[in-house]
Amino acid sequence: MKILTNHLGYETADYKKAVYQGKEGDGAERFSLVDESSGETVFSGTALYAGPVGRWNTGSYWTMDFSPVQKPGTYVVELETNRGKVRSFPFEIAVCQHSMRMLNAVTYYFKAQRSTGEWLEEDRCLPFYGEREGVWDVHGGWFDATGDCGIRMSHLSHSTTHNPQQLGWSAYVFLQAADLLMKSGNKNYSILERRMLDEGTFGADFIMRMQAPSGSFFTAILRSDSFGCVHGNRGIGFEYHHSSNQFSEKAETADEETIGDENYEVSFRSGGGMCIAALAAASRHYYPGTDFTQGQYIAAAKRAWDTLYHNNERYTNDGQWNLIDEYCALFAATELYKATREYAYLVRAEEMAGRIMNRMLPLGDALAWFEVLPGEPFYSATDEGMPVLALLAFAEIEPDAREKVRAEASAEKAMRWCLHMASQCVNPFGYPRYQHRDADGRIVNRFFYCHESSAKPWWQGDNARLASLSSAARAVAERTSDRQLQEDLLRFAQDQLNWIMGCNPFDACMIEGYGRNNIQYFFKGRYDFMNCPGGICNGITSALHDEEGIAFIRKPTDEIDDNWRWAEQWIPHASWFLLANALKKR
């Protein structure tokens, strides 16, 4: 018997929901919201029965909505059941302090992830892994994850359709967040704005050092041994096109592939698009103390665009474009146009937006989903909201009213589809569901990122995906004229943040140092790699042997001696969470 809430509480303008986790037959009905200091009941309502979820085996659920309460204070939820009264932990309702605290926490997390000291010194003169010759000054950047002091623009390129956006996206998010906080008109954000610019331009400086002679960017700095000495244990890495050595000593296709310069460098989908977008955005923001000028940022962005637009197929693993290339290129072209006002970039942005919208399959007149390739539904462990946000960013620069409306309508249809998918089963937490084509060619629906994608054996928790969809939902809600849709999207957006901040079946806040029941990362019986305050772990997954089950593995088991899939922090989670909070603009 437990009442699950957002551990950090709720903002006055948020939709506010708690979830009761109990047993069938508990008879939960009336609940009250009680002011903790006075004991006064300030709101009463009816708990709505939802039932058990799939094969989670975590009990039955009831939901309790207390959105009308907007008075700041500390509260508890009390619920009458057949087994007695249940009381939640205390939580706050506040004006905008929660968004500010989280923006602050995530920014400090990134500051702590900066490559400094012996790593920075080593990266000032870094060789390449493999046969490529030369050394390069690529110091700076943010460590990728708790157990990985490497630095990546993306990875999983062998999967074709599952490239996550990593460092370039993070740099871009900080610059976008600075813009959003400025637009909010809230003077309390004045210091945070400067810190956003500090991190964003720090990321842009690193991207500049990672630009290859071709105009593309190097894909990653890798380390070969987690416990090895830093000196001699790092290099500029490459990716195989058809397999990965991430989980093995040798990639399956290592003997069959010839490694060329393109393997060391990025396509639009493997980080290039977001590196260009970050540099173009940085060129619009003056910030003192950077290693490069605004003019150098935009010149590098334009050079990279020319290289990748004309040669992207050379850098992809399959020799073609897909949806991920296109939405990353759309962000890049949009930011280049904003920075330069050169018409050619508007034309390219229109081209990419058109390609993205042509990849949408409709369900009736109001719903549509994206295909990443023909016949293959798009889903992502990290960036599922990104094509929606790319279309909305394009709509802001598009002068043709018809094309602007088309882009906004397409984004709205995609989010209506997302809401539709979430509503098709028992779903008390409002968790987003997706569809994918399984190994037998069937389209199946899932809650959590599947184990059998083309990225396998890589799979992990969905926290970045949740925050990306929260961001997309909030962005569409801001633009739609449909009041009911706006309400549904804002509820959905808040549900994703609530899950990350503790309103989930494990009553665990995913942000280290905040809330309750933070998970700890272990690696082969050791806890050397400690999670950083303000960082966000990978999160909850399906069960080890049941895609309809649920898991959040906290302690070593006979099968698990490394719980990275659940406990390891990773910068895409924090980046998306930062954007989701910045989009509140309060």
- Give pLDDT tens digits for 508-550: 999 999 999 999 999 988 898 899 999 999 999 999 999 999 9
pLDDT at residue 586 greater than cutoff 80: no
- Give pLDDT tens digits for 26-81: 999 999 999 999 999 999 999 999 999 999 999 999 999 999 999 999 999 999 99
Question: Are 197 and 287 in contact, with CB atoms under 8 Å apart?
Answer: yes
User: Among residues of the chain, what percentage have pLDDT more than 70?
Assistant: 100
pLDDT at residue 571 greater than cutoff 80: yes
Which helix (DSSP H) or strand (DSSP E) does residue 444 occupy? strand 443-446
Q: Identify the weakest region by mean pLDDT among 95-99, 255-259, 399-403.
A: 95-99
Backbone angles phi, psi at 232, to 5 degrees: 80, 5
- Give pLDDT tens digits for 368-391: 999 999 999 999 999 999 999 999
Mean pLDDT of the chain: 96
**Amino acid at position 57, single letter:** N
pLDDT at residue 97 greater than cutoff 80: no
Return the domain boundaries, the chain: 2-94, 97-582
DSSP letter at 264 equals G
Pairwise CA distance, residues 489 & 247, whole Å = 38
Name the strands in the sheet holding 60-65, side by side, starting at the edge strand that comes first in the sequence: 2-4, 17-22, 60-65, 48-52
Structure tokens at 518: 């933070």
| CATH number belonging to domain 2-94 | 2.60.40.10
Which pLDDT score, from 0 to 100, does residue 44 have? 97
Pairwise CA distance, residues 447 & 290, whole Å = 43
Q: How confident is the model at residue 98 (pLDDT cuts 50, 70, 90)?
A: confident
Question: Are 521 and 452 in contact, with CB atoms under 8 Å apart?
Answer: no
Question: Are 272 and 216 in contact, with CB atoms under 8 Å apart?
Answer: yes
Mean pLDDT score, 91-95? 95
Q: How confident is the model at residue 264 (pLDDT cuts 50, 70, 90)?
A: very high
Mean pLDDT score, 556-572? 96
Which helix (DSSP H) or strand (DSSP E) does residue 4 occupy? strand 2-4
Mean pLDDT score, 393-421? 98
Structure tokens at 340: 């330069």
| CATH number belonging to domain 97-582 | 1.50.10.10
pLDDT at residue 185 greater than cutoff 90: no
3-state secondary structure (DSSP) of residue 134? coil
pLDDT at residue 472 greater than cutoff 90: yes
Question: Are 237 and 220 in contact, with CB atoms under 8 Å apart?
Answer: yes
Q: How confident is the model at residue 219 (pLDDT cuts 50, 70, 90)?
A: very high
Q: How confident is the model at residue 224 (pLDDT cuts 50, 70, 90)?
A: confident
Which pLDDT score, from 0 to 100, does residue 17 have? 98
Backbone angles phi, psi at 49, to 5 degrees: -70, 130
Question: Are 307 and 216 in contact, with CB atoms under 8 Å apart?
Answer: yes
Give first-to-last CA distance, the chain, whole Å. 35
Cα R_g (the chain), whole angstroms: 23
Mean pLDDT score, 177-187? 91
